[in-house]
Structure 1
Amino acid sequence: MLDRRRTFLILFALANAGGVVAYAPLLTLIFPARIWAIAGDSAIQWLSAATFAGAIAASIGNVAFGWASDLVGTRRIWAAAGLCLTIVSYVLMYFASSLFEIVSAIVFYQLALNMLLSPLTAWAADVVPDEEKGFLGGWLAAGPPIGAIAGVLATQFAGERVQFSILCLLIVSLTMPLLLLRRVPAVEPSAPVRQDRARQLKVDFALLWIARLIVQVAGAVLFAFLLFFFRSLPSPIAQSDVAVLSATTLSIAFPLTIGLGRLSDRIGPRKPFLVATVLLAAAGLMIMAMQTETRTAMLGYAIFECSVGIFLALHNAYAMQVLPSPVRRGRDMGILNLTNTFPALIAPVLTILVIPGHGFGMLFVVLAVLMALAALCLLMVRGDARFDMRSGQPITAA
Structure 2
Amino acid sequence: MPMLLNTSDYRRRARRFLPRGLFEYIDRGTEDETALTRLRASLDAITLLPAVLTGHDRRDFDTVLFGRRMAAPLVVAPTALAGLVSHDGETKLARAASRVGIPVCISTQSVTTVEAIRRGAPDALLWFQLYVWRDRALTARLLERASACGCDNLVLTVDTPVSPKREYNERNGFGIPFKPHLSSMIDVALHPGWLFGVLARYLIGEGMPTYGHYPDAFRTAITRASIAEAVRLEPRLNWDDMHWLREIWPGKLTIKGVLAVEDAEKAVEIGADGVVVSAHGGRNLDCLPAPVDCIPAIADAVNGRLTILADSGVRRGTDVLKYLALGAEAVLLGRLPLWGLAAGGEAGAEAILRMVLREMDTAMAFLGTHRVPALRDGRARQQRN
The TM-score normalised by the length of structure 2 is: 0.27
User: Higher helix proportion, which one?
Assistant: 1
User: Higher strand proportion, which one?
Assistant: 2
